[in-house]
Structure 1
């Protein structure tokens, strides 16, 4: 199945003869068979015809809307996949503190391990000593085993994350160096790229979660927040470094993007991607999602990262239906 990203301002999306058609301002068109499309993501001033929206609802094609600089607005989604019994079970698990704690430990342990792998990968070409920082992060995931509350788990995660981003800022090209995580708004190019990437992956998970009959707002680890899909946030944690951080590091250190391809706005603070850079970044992310790997511990064959996202949600369903968090195996890279 394919994903359609449209960021060209003034473009329009319609449907003709069982094909989705994108018409650009310069007269060029792009055509995709309706049966192959899973998601449409639009950025900024892009028009979609009513006929196209109706076809998306009929076929269960999610349509996601972002601003020109990547702020998420919302989505159009069919309700054909709702599974009431599964959502009742999901809601019951939200009251099972033992399950929630054990599940959170598994997710955050894997997240920190993946962050360490990313640091080790990118230090190879840099004269930076990261061993002390790695030991600090290892101490955090070791402490997780003894945590008695989710708040403690998240506290260890937060400490590891601060160490991780502090070191990460020294492992990229000097002009892109940064001193830690900044968001809403991102204050430097690196944070701008990962913030957008996190938004994209969270909303991809949102659609896959709903597609399997779950409620994206019934989380396990993160505290409930109004209008925030906490389950998508939970399931995203193991993927942040694996999919987004690694892609951004690859682009920056591979000189695929320059600092001149970002802009700031006078009316509000923040650093954002120019339109051509945005298109380049989305293309790179899409390539990453399609990359095959053997990181899932419960299968002995290669799957794309996008397939792995879907399979992990299946594992989560298995875990809540059996009320056994050990049925869930977070991805751990090598």
Structure 2
């Protein structure tokens, strides 16, 4: 199988030698990979890539994704993009129709809330019944809401309920790893630093998947278009936030894979250092390669493959092949 490659850290260099990419840290070669086995290349921070390496990668149709040192997704280099013009025409038609957009947006938000409920139910043995009842009610309300503004309100209310229990999902007794609320730009505690880093990785994942299927990742149905904002990637990502980023965060802290030594404490903000980033990426990749049974089709596939399945289901909706988008929900 093809595998994604992550290069983290300032001063890294990627070179082509024969049928391989070589990874260098200043004067030392630190690794290599066969070009034919690379699914995508993700570069974090000041990583350089030579022109011969980039040309070969692009000719193979392998996306090269660029991130800031802190995990913010900058953009992508890719060879000839998908030629499914008809799908993009239909996407623009649906996105310009508020009623049609709302039908899809409802499914995104309802799926996110249902998966949030499943995560806290599985990982918080002391969770009050009222919390689960509240999340169930909000998920049902999201399915029938009559305006995008009301849907935003429901999503916000569900997030408040969900994150009010997030600290109970973390088993570490280290007060440094406690969680009070979701915060970002900059994250104010290690848990939020990891969540933000993983959400950045997920945006890239959905961006690449949507391009492969034939969508324009910048035009969404729930998140409003804004210059440089990959709205559709953020849309489709909603139902997977609890299943991937939140779940990986909980696992990394509860298994003791992350310690204080993996973070940089600077002023008001906290960020991952290079060792911490590698640990988080390893946890993320474990999750993305985990196989689960798809509730509609009944076969086991990896989470990475499920992202593509869901993107193709979305394409079938806007092409009129199925009536509504079925979010991926676990039990």
The CA deviation at 1:180 is 1.0
Stretch deviating more after TM superposition (227-236 or 29-38): 29-38
CA distance in 1, matches of 2:27, 2:163: 42
The answer on 1:19 being equivalent to 2:20 is: yes
Match of 1:104 in 2: 105
Give the conservation status (yes or no) of the 8 Å contact 1:99–1:325. Answer: no
CA distance in 2, matches of 1:222, 1:142: 20
Q: Secondary structure at the match of 2:140?
A: helix
The CA deviation at 1:71 is 2.3
Give the 5 Å matches for 1:312-323: 312-322=310-320
Q: Secondary structure at the match of 2:165?
A: helix
CA distance in 2, matches of 1:223, 1:130: 35
Q: For the structure 1 residues 101 and 325, does the alpha-carbon distance in structure 2 shift closer, same or farther, using more than 3 Å as the test?
A: farther
Give the conservation status (yes or no) of the 8 Å contact 1:130–1:167. Answer: no
Q: Secondary structure at the match of 1:219?
A: coil
The CA deviation at 1:60 is 1.4
The answer on 1:282 being equivalent to 2:281 is: yes
Match of 1:332 in 2: 329
CA distance in 1, matches of 2:144, 2:32: 54
CA distance in 2, matches of 1:291, 1:129: 27
Q: Secondary structure at the match of 2:319?
A: helix
Give the conservation status (yes or no) of the 8 Å contact 2:14–2:24. Answer: yes
Q: Secondary structure at the match of 1:15?
A: strand
> TM-score with structure 1 length normalisation?
0.93
Q: Secondary structure at the match of 2:87?
A: helix
The answer on 1:292 being equivalent to 2:287 is: no
1:2-54 deviation line (CA, Å, top 9, x unaligned): 10101143221111111122123462442222122121111112221011111
Stretch deviating more after TM superposition (257-266 or 282-291): 257-266
Give the conservation status (yes or no) of the 8 Å contact 2:213–2:308. Answer: no
Corresponding residue pairs, total: 327
Q: After TM superposition, which residue ranges in structure 1, 4 or more long, deviate above 3 angstroms?
A: none
CA distance in 2, matches of 1:43, 1:107: 29
Q: For the structure 1 residues 313 and 146, does the alpha-carbon distance in structure 2 shift closer, same or farther, using more than 3 Å as the test?
A: closer
CA distance in 2, matches of 1:318, 1:236: 18
Unaligned stretches of 5+ residues in structure 2: none
CA distance in 1, matches of 2:216, 2:153: 26
Q: For the structure 1 residues 300 and 146, does the alpha-carbon distance in structure 2 shift closer, same or farther, using more than 3 Å as the test?
A: closer
Give the conservation status (yes or no) of the 8 Å contact 1:64–1:74. Answer: yes
Match of 2:305 in 1: 307
The answer on 1:177 being equivalent to 2:183 is: no
CA distance in 2, matches of 1:14, 1:138: 52
Match of 2:210 in 1: 209
Give the conservation status (yes or no) of the 8 Å contact 2:22–2:29. Answer: no
CA distance in 2, matches of 1:70, 1:119: 26
Match of 1:144 in 2: 142
Give the 5 Å matches for 1:28-67: 28-67=29-68
Unaligned stretches of 5+ residues in structure 1: none
CA distance in 2, matches of 1:26, 1:111: 46
Give the conservation status (yes or no) of the 8 Å contact 1:100–1:221. Answer: yes
1:168-217 deviation line (CA, Å, top 9, x unaligned): 12331242112111012111111111111111111111011112221011
The CA deviation at 1:219 is 0.6
